[in-house]
Structure 1
Amino acid sequence: MALDTRDVAKIAHLARLDVKRDERDHFSAELSNILDLVEQMRCVDTTGVEPMAHPLHMAQRLRPDRVTETNEREHFQQIAPQTEDGLYLVPRVVE
């Protein structure tokens, strides 16, 4: 799909981008190349191809899921102005 300079000007206006007149030829060629690549990818038969979350088949390294801090809720709630049933009470700000 080939874009001309009027298309680039319209797209720039819709995107609220300031594209100078002398840059429009360059951007029309670049955007046309991108759209041609998208069209090539659309023509590829992907029947039976399972979607991937990431282009690389890698497992994410995760740290072990274990508790690293002690429960100090009682200590912190002792110094809080108001608590009830393990929750902090705060003044109402929305009526």
Structure 2
Amino acid sequence: MAKQIIDDTVMENVEILAKLALTEEERKKAKEKMQEMLDYVDKLNELDTDGIEPLSHTFSMGNVFREDVVTNGDDRDAMLDNAPKCKDGQYQVPKTVQ
């Protein structure tokens, strides 16, 4: 596989897509950093991974969710006891729209 090179055209496209306005110095640094990333990926691609199962985690994962069980119920009166004001079983708040 041919080595990928970050050139000025690629940098212009990245700037447009990311809505960036880089100075020449920032563009040069970003170009170098992006090239370093691509070089690292190329280095990783040199590894022999034949017979290795792809994984998303280093350990097996199972469903860690639990059933959603309501424990406090609907105790509206207790909740309204905490309200500064209530009216007809609802919270009463100051009017915000005129």
TM-score range, shorter chain: 0.5 to 0.7
Q: Which of these residues, 57, 60, 65, is aligned with residue 59 of structure 2?
A: 57
TM-score (norm. length: structure 2): 0.51
Relative contact order, higher structure (CA 8 A, sep 6+) = 1
Q: CA deviation at 1:61?
A: 7.8
Name stretches of at least 5 consecutive residues in structure 2 with no aligned partner: 72-98
**Aligned length in residues:** 70
- 1:33 maps to 36
Contact 1:5 1:25 survives alignment (8 Å): no
State how far apart, in whole Å, the 2-side matches of 1:33 and 1:21 are: 18
Q: Following TM superposition, where does structure 1 have runs of at least 4 consecutive aligned residues deviating by more than 6 angstroms?
A: none
TM-score (norm. length: structure 1): 0.52
Name stretches of at least 5 consecutive residues in structure 1 with no aligned partner: 71-95
Query: Relative to 1, partners in 2 of residues 1:67 and 1:32: Cα closer, same or farther, differing over 3 Å?
Result: closer
Task: Give the letter aligned to residue 57 of structure 1.
Answer: F
- 1:44 maps to 47
Contact 1:4 1:25 survives alignment (8 Å): no
